[in-house]
Structure 1
Amino acid sequence: MEVNFLALVVAALSTLVVGFIWYNPKVFGTAWMNAAGLTEEKLKGANMAVIYGLAVLFAFFMAFILQFLVIHQWGALAATGGDSDKVSPVYEAYMAEYGTAFRTFKHGALHGFMTGLLFTFPLIAINSMFERKSWKFIFINAGYWLVNLTIMGGIICAWI
């Protein structure tokens, strides 16, 4: 199997689209600012090109790992030692039969959702509780990543 870098880039860029909507003042932006203790004044003066650039880079890292969670065929390759040039005929037969099984947006979205709910939400909650952030703050940020990972998983899994 080969890594589909275009799918990973599109998945990473989708986080910006969701972010523009999610953190819009008419959606959760104002509530998030209040829960985070931020003001318009505190947000001014940042280098947004660096912030957005790093946000996409980090989202790409997440997409890269997410592909191994949402595409089951990576597990079959890993079981052979991970080198697609040195696989057995059994692997070739498996891929011929099941190479596109469970490769849908819906299936990838399910695994992305599970990753968001069972990995990312606890991670954000733990850090935020120690930072003495409110549950409102936790749910806004964790909800953002839950939606993102669901969409990212769908994009990655469906893009054959």
Structure 2
Amino acid sequence: MSAKIIFISLVTALAVIFFFMLNRTTIPSALVCTAKNHLSLNTQKDGVNIEGEVLLVFRISSAREGVFSQVGVLDVNGQNYSVNRSTTLKFTGQDSDGYLRTQRVSVVKNDNDDLPDAITDLLMSKQKVFYYKIMHISDNVYGVRDLRRTLMVCRAK
């Protein structure tokens, strides 16, 4: 009888350890990432010179949705513009290589965002689906990357 109890306890303990090891690198259900980007863009074709600094905040609120916010100031050909907008994102699935298919649902410009749409079109992609990968780096540190580069490093609470 005691051998049976020991065997069941051992199997249960191994199952708990296996489950813990399997889930220890899962993405937290709520993650907030920030990055400050310095922009310097000179478009020779259009003759537009853009310089400035924008704070990016990427909030994952659930496994299905998130928000990407941009706040900053841009100098476009010597004139200053304020950037203050939020983009609602919907995660539509995950590919076999771990990238999240992400769809841009809506962009909300706040009242003080006065960046002209023509400049926004130069800076933002027109594609509707993006791919992001959230990588576990260590303990509560994560990295967010797109198909080309690491965009930001985050710390989960």
Q: Which has the higher contact order (CA 8 A, sep 6+)?
A: 1
More helix by share: 1
Structure having the higher strand fraction is: 2
- Structure number with bigger Rg: 2
- Scaled by the length of structure 1, what TM-score is found? 0.28
